Amino acid sequence: MKTRTMNLPVEEAVGRVLAAPVRAEFAVPGTDIADLDGFAVQSRPTAGASHGRPLVVVEGVRVDTGRPLPPGTDAVVPLECCPGEACPFVLTEPIRPGDGVRHAGSEVEDGALLLPAGHRLRPVDIGPLVAAGVVRVVVRAARVGVIPTGGELVPPGTLPGPGESVASNPLAIRALLEPQGAETFIHAVVPDDRAAIRAAILEMRPEVDLLVVCGGSGRGTRDVAFGVVRSLGETVVDGVAARPGRAFLVVKAEEKPVFSLPGRAQPIALLTEFFLMPLLESWGMPAVAHPRVQVRLGLDILSHPGFTEAVPLSVARVGTGLIGLRQPRGRLGTLSGFRSNARLLVPDGVNGYRAGERVMAELLDELDGPERTVLVVGAVDGLEFPCDENRIVLVPCKSGEARALLDRSACHLATFEGAAPPGVDSWPHRLPDGRRVVLAAPPGLGEDGGVNRALESLGLTR
């Protein structure tokens, strides 16, 4: 595909990839200016100044840093050399031409190359660009259309009724793709009707470079979108050995890719990252890479043979090392997106990992995020930390698993509905719904800052 471009104001182009080189519109500075506060002078008459033959200067012109040099001057005497900060003043050494001066074009020459094509624009680039007269830039772009399907879907901001759910996936796709430079256009929800889905696809396809159809990929009687997409053209990919994912279709229709994705949030995010984002990268719009960190697993992770599995992890520094705890899927899977800041990819052929093993995880957070994260495990249902300053992350797990995490010093706090295990510091706490729980800290952590921050968030002290 020939890469599409957009012309944007520089302040709106942060994070976008330049499609063309950027050159200075004018020199910086545009004229000779003072590089310090002082007096502008003509240097030639000062050539004979020395301690033995001091020279009295009576024709200096007061200038401030950044101001143009007055006509007939070519140097600036620092204010510190001028007692009384006024003329006349005495020089005991000569002033050379250009002393205390920033010459025209000394920082940036007119027409100089500032940034090459392919550079991802950063916040720190904006000031220098604008200073050199650049107010708009040409960036790489792509137009992505997203069609949500399903008679049970209601628009975002709408209270869903019985059997309904909010059409959140298109906005999630937009959030993932737009940092790469994609413009995302979202179609209104289309019911589970073959003719309606086909009409929506044919309407949107000419206007975009890439089309995504969400939902209708299962085997239910209303799952018809998959078949409609398949009928559009040549099938390129039919299914993927990944969990979550599996139901995944890519068709080339009139030289444009059309993707059919499942309707659930977790596979949508994973398939977007694994397939849509690399496609945009092949079009010259690279994604920001996730840093990888080594973590020690606090709990066993079981995987399904025959699939590459993406396991959401919550990673935090506990004591002296990074701990990774798996977040649950299934009933509580919706919350795992909020609660996870990393991801472990378990390759096909690996049945999982045991607690205590060290693995490399992809960090989905800032690089220092784990340093500021606090892990609270166990019976966390109903436990609330409304202030996020302390980065409290809840990891639901069974009572026996919570006890094991305490023994391994693999969490900051554990929550129990009954009594805490013997030999640990514990604190009773009443949940907002009136239930009572007990919080316990691993005995091996000592005065760990994460433990203290979690307790403070609940109004407790150690």
Percent of the chain residues topping a pLDDT of 70: 94
Condensed to tens digits (0 to 9), the pLDDT of residues 93-142 reads 999 999 999 999 999 999 999 999 999 999 999 999 999 999 999 999 99
CA gap 342, 150 in Å, rounded: 31
Is residue 221 scored above 60 in pLDDT? Answer: no
> Is the pLDDT score of 366 beyond 90?
no
Angle in degrees, CA 51, 54, 55, rounded to 5: 150
Contacts 24+ apart (CB under 8 A), 123-130: 123/14, 125/10, 125/14, 126/10, 126/11, 126/14, 129/10, 129/22, 130/10
| Mean pLDDT, range 410-416, rounded to an integer | 93
> What string of DSSP letters covers 403-446?
HHHHHTT--SEEEESSPPPTTSEEEEEE-TTS-EEEEEE-TTS-
Domain 33-102 homologous superfamily, CATH: Molybdopterin biosynthesis moea protein, domain 3. (2.170.190.11)
Assess whether the region 33-102 and the region 292-457 belong to the same CATH fold: no
* Architecture of the 292-457 domain: Beta Barrel (2.40)
Give per-residue pLDDT as tens, 36-88: 999 999 999 999 889 889 988 888 899 999 999 999 999 999 988 887 777 88
Q: What is the mean pLDDT of residues 151-174?
A: 92
Provide the 3-class DSSP secondary structure of residue 179.
helix
Q: Report yes or no: 183 and 141 within 8 Å, Cβ to Cβ.
A: yes
| Distance separating the N- and C-terminal Cα atoms of the chain | 61
- Using the predicted structure, report yes or no on whether residue 448 has a pLDDT greater than 80: no
**What pTM, to 2 d.p., does this model score?**
0.77
- What kind and span of H or E run contains 318? strand 308-318
Reference 76, options 28, 42, 112, 48; nearest CA is: 42
**Whole-angstrom Cα distance, residue 29 to residue 23?**
15
Which of 3.20.20.70, 3.40.50.1360, 3.40.1350.10, 3.40.980.10 is the CATH number of 140-282? 3.40.980.10
| Domain ranges across the chain | 33-102, 140-282, 292-457
pLDDT one-digit tens code per residue, 253-312: 988 999 999 888 888 888 999 899 999 999 989 888 899 999 999 999 998 778 888 899
- Number of Cβ atoms within 10 Å of the Cβ of 141: 23
Mean pLDDT of the chain: 89
